[in-house]
């Protein structure tokens, strides 16, 4: 899809990934970027930079995907849609009915509106949660669904609804299976990446970083601006339908992550190990080769550079970080 002169709707555009997607889109020759968000988790602070661009605006009437008529109005004249809105993993675990409504019925509303308005391309935010724990490494897109969470179940449902809408109505779309996304503007609600914020909180107070279990739990961490670029690559691609990993293909344990944060902050505090709590997945790393081949997406920010950027963002956004911390408690 050619983005020049296009009008793009970013659903969930005020969140961690969504706000970075908006900024990446504004680097293109788009005509307009509309943010559709109910600010349940997203924030106006995330949009400070983007809203300085006259091509960018928040949809004035509303931003909830459960309000199908308002969503339909937001789609008017739109060329491409990026759909990121969802309840996150722990919310889905604690409130499965709400998760069904938002992640499944809400996604159906998005698909239905895309068809009604003849949208040229949809990018759907899926998740590596569809895979669950690794059966084989690295996880290719053919890896079996080994998911045991309700969040993962809603993402599998979203993928299969997109496939069905493509088959029946010809809706072109790409689903992106994000690995563990981190970076500036992240909050304390991410099940696996929140550990970074909590470690840095402790180091700020001169307290040892806490690791639950033995720290061997291992994940594929991908920087948020790389994740945002993957969305733009997916919009610009000509793939009629596909589902792709968005990660680096590099596995990092929580112990290794903690040791890197200690080194970057110049701390010599020892790691404090606590008994493991609730853990949904302990081992996951994605193969990025197919996304590179089909979408032209390649990651650029390694973990050390990404952590340095996260640390600097925290340092320069103290009040905002405190606000996010309090919202999570």
Q: Give the span between the Cα atoms of 294 and 159, in whole angstroms.
A: 18
Cβ neighbours around 268 below 10 Å, total: 6
The dihedral region occupied by 12, where left means phi > 0, alpha psi between -120 and 50, and beta the remainder, is: left
Q: Give the span between the Cα atoms of 201 and 258, in whole angstroms.
A: 12
Q: Which long-range contacts (CB under 8 A, 24 or more apart) does 24-30 make?
A: 24/225, 24/228, 24/229, 24/231, 24/232, 25/232, 25/235, 26/50, 26/53, 26/55, 26/56, 28/3, 28/4, 28/232, 29/3, 29/4, 29/5, 30/3, 30/4, 30/5, 30/6, 30/55
| Catalytic-labelled residue, pool 124, 151, 178, 244 | 151
The first and second tokens of residue 189, run together, are 């609600």
Asked if 145 is an active-site residue, the reply is no
**Residues forming the active site:** 151
């Amino acid at each position: 899809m050619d983005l020049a002169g296009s009008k793009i709707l970013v659903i969930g555009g005020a969140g961690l990934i969504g706000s970075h997607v908006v900024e990446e889109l504004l680097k293109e020759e788009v005509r307009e970027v509309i943010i559709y968000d109910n600010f349940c988790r997203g924030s106006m602070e995330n949009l400070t930079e983007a809203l300085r661009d006259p091509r960018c605006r928040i949809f004035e009437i509303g931003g909830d995907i459960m309000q199908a008529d308002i969503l339909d109005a937001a789609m008017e004249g739109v060329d491409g849609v990026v759909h990121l809105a969802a309840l996150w993993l722990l919310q889905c675990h604690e409130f499965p009915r709400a998760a069904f409504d938002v992640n499944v019925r809400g996604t159906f509303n998005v698909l239905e509106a895309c068809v009604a308005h003849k949208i040229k391309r949809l990018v759907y935010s899926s998740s590596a949660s569809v895979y669950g724990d690794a059966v084989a490494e690295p996880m290719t897109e053919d890896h079996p669904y080994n998911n045991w969470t309700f969040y993962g179940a809603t993402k599998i449902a979203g993928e299969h609804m997109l496939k069905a809408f493509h088959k029946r109505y010809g809706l072109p779309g790409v689903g992106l299976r994000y690995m563990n996304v981190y970076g500036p503007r992240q909050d304390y609600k991410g099940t696996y990446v929140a550990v970074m914020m909590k470690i840095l909180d402790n180091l700020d107070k001169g307290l040892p970083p806490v690791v639950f279990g033995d720290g061997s739990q291992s994940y594929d961490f991908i920087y948020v601006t790389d994740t945002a670029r993957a969305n733009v690559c997916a919009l610009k691609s000509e793939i009629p339908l596909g589902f792709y990993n968005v990660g680096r293909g590099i596995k990092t344990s929580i112990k290794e992550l903690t040791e890197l944060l200690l080194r970057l902050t110049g701390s010599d505090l020892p790691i404090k190990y606590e008994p493991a709590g609730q853990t949904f997945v302990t081992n996951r790393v994605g193969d990025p080769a197919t996304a590179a081949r089909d979408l032209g997406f390649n990651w650029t920010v390694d973990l050390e550079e990404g952590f340095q950027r996260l640390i600097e963002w925290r340092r320069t956004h103290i009040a905002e970080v405190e606000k996010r911390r309090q919202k999570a408690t």
